[in-house]
Amino acid sequence: MPIREADLLGHGDPGYRVRHYDLELAYKPSTGRLSGTAHLSAVAADTVRAFALDLGAFTVDRLTVDGKPARWTHRGGKVRVRLGRVLPRGSLFDVELRYAGRPVPVRTRHWGELGWDELTDGAIVASQPVGAPSWFPCNDRVADKATFRIGVTAPSEYTVVAAGVLSSRTSAGRNKRWEFVQHAPTATYLVTVQIGRYEWVQLAEGQHAAVPRARLRAFRHDFARQPEMMALFTDLFGPYPFEDYGVVVTDDDLEVPVEAQGLSIFGANHVDGRRSFERLVAHELAHQWFGNSVGLADWRDIWLNEGFAAYSEWLWSERSGGQPAAAIATVSRSNLAGQAQDLAIGDPPARDMFDDRVYQRGALTLHAVRQAVGDRAFFATLREWTSTYRHATATTDDFVAMAGRHTEIDLAPLFRAWLYTPSLPPAS
């Protein structure tokens, strides 16, 4: 069964779109308590008499629509609001909601616990795909991008890193308030807050990091080539799409790194002083173009995120003195040939959205296109892709159509074989 809305916990309300989120948060690591005021600026996508927000197990103290109290209920992860009037399509409206409680990750059947989670000392947000309601009220739909302002108050000994550019940092007694602004439209799952005892590191102009003091030396070695990656990807994919790029290294181990918009999060286990995980540094950076700026219109097209990021690992290897992409592709194909041939990555079931076969076969799809059309047409396609859909959303059909405009070759059989046929295509 392909991915459907119900597979993603019924999140989101297609009746409206959010233009901007204004979040003012206060967090106490000693108790794990989060309190917040959220102001959403929205537009009706259809005639609206009622609407829903996704929000976890918080106490909601107050909710207004256009400054007036509204009737609402909150249960099952949904705040349902009845307007008592009709908003025609295209109408603008504002929602303000005050809430508090101890954030609880969103528990899912296929992907574990997602969203806000407590570290040994601090907090992490890793929301892909449906964890955003664990810490703020939202319209949790992958295609509903909005701008953000996030203010976070925490004890002064903690560093806060959030989605966007740091616009101010002020002290108030024993606390410090950090404010971040994200001007580029952002999907809810790509918004993050990271809180810990971190030191600031400047890697290059527009590239910074927050790292535990004990990890600084290893970090400087392991991430030393990130500015070179940025230069390479800018050359191959087009201009970096955001105002700056940040990295956070937690003092806890993480199963996998996490991408957010303009920011990537790595665990202590990903920093060993030997560059053992440099391919993941490339992978997460590439997501800023593929997945973050060019976002998904539908989760079924997840290969557009993960296949492109995985192939970027191969491109970095090829251009930095490592194995060429063709050699890595041969190994990847051999590995896939030994696994079950029962997944069409162009429309996977929800349980397989993050299966490694989506990553590897997605990368192999791109390599097959590159082999078919040649480097000039292939990289011209990628640059047009990131330019045309910059800060927007796109689908597999959009990419297939764009690739086809760069060659006289009929690519339809290639894409059909790699994306929609479970068995591996014959080796070329």
pLDDT digits (tens, 9 = 90+) for 119-159: 999 999 999 999 999 999 999 999 999 999 999 999 999 99
Q: Does residue 209 lie in a domain region?
A: no
Where residue 4 sits, what CATH number does that domain have?
Answer: 2.60.40.1730
Spatial contact of 16 and 45, defined as CB atoms under 8 Å apart: yes
Give burial (CB, 10 Å; 0-12/13-18/19+) of 279: middle
d(CA 424, CA 357): 11
Q: Can you say whether the dihedral through the CA atoms of 159, 164, 165, 171 is positive or negative?
A: negative
Last residue of a domain, one of 144, 179, 195: 195
**Domain boundary residue among 167, 195, 223?**
195
Residues 189 and 333 in one domain: no
Of 195, 218, 253, the one marking the end of a domain is 195
Share of the chain above pLDDT 90, in %: 96
What residue numbers bound the domain in which 339 lies?
Answer: 294-420
Q: How many domains does the chain have?
A: 2
Over range 110-121, report the average pLDDT.
96
- The reply to whether 29 falls in a domain is yes
Beta bridge partners of 296: 394
Asked if residue 282 is part of any domain, the answer here is no
Nearest in space to 194 (alpha carbons), one of 147, 113, 251, 112: 251
Q: pTM of the full predicted structure?
A: 0.97
Residue 138 belongs to some domain of the structure? yes
C-alpha 313/C-alpha 164 separation (Å) is 25
Closest CA to 188 of 152, 163, 167: 163
Whether 239 maps to a domain, the answer reads no
Residue 260 domain flag: no
Asked whether the predicted pLDDT for residue 202 surpasses 70, the reply is yes
Q: Is a pLDDT exceeding 60 seen at residue 344?
A: yes
Q: Does 357 map to a domain?
A: yes
Mean pLDDT of the chain: 96
Long-range contact set of residues 371-379: C-beta below 8 Å, sequence gap at least 24 = 371/428, 372/407, 372/409, 372/411, 372/414, 373/403, 373/406, 373/407, 373/409, 373/411, 377/406, 377/407, 378/406, 379/236
**CA angle, 219 then 225 then 229, to 5°:** 125
Q: Are residues 21 and 143 in the same domain?
A: yes
Cβ(279)–Cβ(363) below 8 Å? no
CATH number of the domain residue 404 falls in: 1.10.390.10
Q: Which residues pair with 245 in a beta bridge?
A: 207
Of the pLDDT bands very low, low, confident and very high (cuts 50, 70, 90), residue 427 is: confident
Q: Does 72 map to a domain?
A: yes
